[in-house]
Copies of this chain bind each other. A is one copy, B any other.
Amino acid sequence: MASRKEVADLAGVSEATVSRVLNGVGPIKEETRRKVLEASEKLGYVPSAIARSFARSKSGNLGVVLPYVPKAHLFSAYFFSEMLSGIGNKARDSGMDLLVMFRSPGEVMNYADLFRRQKVDACIILGAKDDHGELAAMQQLQEEGHPFCVMNQHFAGESFLEVDADHVEGSRLAVHHLTEQGYRKIAFLNGPDSYSNSQERLLGVQIGLKEAGMELDPDLLLEGNYSRRSGVEAAATIAARLDEIDAVFAANDRMAIGVMHGLRERGIEVQNFPAFVGYDDSDAAEMSVPPLTSVRVPFYEMGELAVSKLIHGSLVGSASTEASGSPSEWPRELLPTELIIRASSIRK
């Protein structure tokens, strides 16, 4: 590959002039500009992106931070892959590349360092946990004025830019759908309390039951960890108390499907299943037998929205030309959820 010096020699100018022309810096005579561009083209000279980025202080990269989940095939998890598809689509439209970064086990990510080292121009944080170190790292980002967005986790008392879905309403809809059909003994299989998403689902369930003049029976509140296996395990409890349970609402589809499998393994026939409602409306819900009623979460649109908000507010990407406020001025944004009714929850 040609060097800057060769371009300068061919154009009959200094190397500094070559840089100024190619970086569009400072006034340059039109004839000089033309000579440099012709020489660059002739020699196939491409200025280093790193050098150009250094000049502009922009990497052209949108960072996405993924959680550390041991042994998990992270990209294969429905909600991650859908959010990433939305993020990727919007990034592509904005001419940005996606820099995917992985958390290390037992280590708090130094987010601010990513910006200082100019690896990214903006950052989306997935799978954050509400612990002290993580919170401090994000507060630092906020203080230093770096554009970032947290998805699927709420940090109460902070003014972070957050994009999520309305899980309170989604869960209320699920319970309302069950009580409306006369189901009364509704078991709720939730995920761990450390996720704000789980807390919101619980609140929605309580509201839904209250609307029907009911209360959540503590004996019917079960906890899994959002894995299919934890659904299979919960099936033991549910199978043992099938006469006390006429419907199961699970906090995601994987657990709902796990419960169904667990019941099948115990020889319980589909016609004796309780009603089932899942959550996420993943591919698996539609393919399940019986097809699974589920709360649809617009993960793809959430991903697109997070990128749009970052680009809008931070001069990131090629399309934006003006900053319009700092992330801290935006509220937390919740996209609507929707109940998709299928055979699993319809009273025969």
Contacts and interface: CB of A to CB of B under 8 A. Distances in A.
SS of A interface (majority): helix
A59 interface: yes
A173 to B, nearest CB: 24
Nearest to A113: B46
A257 interface: yes
A34 interface: no
A51 interface: yes
Given A284-B283, A289-B289, A97 B88 contact: no
A86 to B, nearest CB: 8
A49 B117 contact: yes
Interface string A265-299: 00000000000000000011001110000000000
Interface in A72-108: 72-76, 78, 80-82, 84-86, 88, 91-92, 97-102, 104
Contacts of A86: 73
A92 B104 contact: yes
Given A46-B116, A284-B283, A97 B100 contact: yes
A82 B78 contact: no
B75 A84 contact: yes
28 contacts: A1-B116, A1-B144, A46-B117, A48-B116, A48-B117, A49-B119, A50-B53, A50-B54, A50-B117, A72-B85, A73-B82, A73-B85, A73-B86, A73-B300, A75-B82, A75-B85, A76-B82, A88-B100, A91-B102, A92-B102, A92-B104, A97-B99, A97-B100, A97-B102, A98-B101, A99-B99, A283-B284, A284-B287
Interface of A: 1, 46-54, 59, 61, 66, 72-76, 78, 80-82, 84-86, 88, 91-92, 97-102, 104, 113, 116-119, 144, 257, 283-284, 287-289, 300
